[in-house]
Amino acid sequence: MRIIVAIDIIGGKCVRLTRGDFNTKKVYNKDPLEVALQIEDNGINFLHLVDLEGAKNKKIENIKVLEKIAWKTKLKIDFGGGLRSYEDLITAFNAGARQVTTGSIAVTDPNLFIEWLKKLGQEKLILGADCIDRKVSTSGWLEKSDKEIISFISDYRSKGVKYTICTDIKKDGMLQGPSTSLYKEILGAVKINLIASGGISSIKDIEEIREVGCEGVIIGKAVYEGKITLNELGKLC
């Protein structure tokens, strides 16, 4: 199982939100590169880099952060937030992303998403499938759709999607454990590489996610709040 550390960006700084609420913003480090170097130094290979401003404003805002981290580290980066066109995707790849994550377009313009999938291939494009009360949310979680999470993932799996990140928004930033039962339900219904995100607060949580069969797990606030150390995560890689 891939151990993936998250860096969320607003104004070029490393921040975290609670349940996606921009009013709960907390800055953890003014230099995301410093955090990325610490991640790499502890033997972790994967980074989930999210342009929160981009997601909110529906356009890429923090591409320079991606460029700097990709240039200064060997981390395998998946990048998301504000990706609204094929040109945006190419911009992210040219800046150093190995994969891109997009969910909003998958909801609002399925044909465009499938076009991207065909052009890029299933190894490059991750389906963002974040939900609240089992309904998929978009635009930095500010907009709620009528798409039911399992049918949403299943439909895109049938169209060739290989990877999906699923965050239960109610769990995000709460440090009260992940939605293990939801992930188990998804994997019972769909054969897909599922990356769990949201609520991770301990090594035990990560072990539970592994037992369910997830391909990856994203850890964010637990690291920044000292609940889990990067050294502990490195030992799991």
Q: Catalytic: 31? A: no
In CATH terms, the superfamily for domain 2-234 is Aldolase class I (3.20.20.70)
pLDDT of residue 21: 84
Q: Cα–Cα distances in Å, from 152 out to 9, 81, 118, 129, 175?
A: 27, 20, 18, 8, 26
Of 200, 195, 194, the closest CA to residue 219 belongs to 200
Q: For the chain, which residues score pLDDT lower than 70?
A: 139-142
Percent of the chain with pLDDT over 90: 85
pLDDT of residue 232: 98
Asked if residue 77 lies in contact with residue 35, where contact means CB atoms within 8 angstroms, the answer is no
Which of the residues 51, 78, 88, 130 is marked catalytic?
A: 130
pLDDT of residue 141: 62
- CA pair distance 1, 167, nearest whole angstrom: 17
Show me where the domains of the chain are located: 2-234
b/e 136-172 (16+ beta carbons within 10 angstroms → b): bbbbbbeebbebebbebbbebbeeebbbbbbbbbbbb
Q: Catalytic: 133? A: no
pLDDT of residue 233: 98
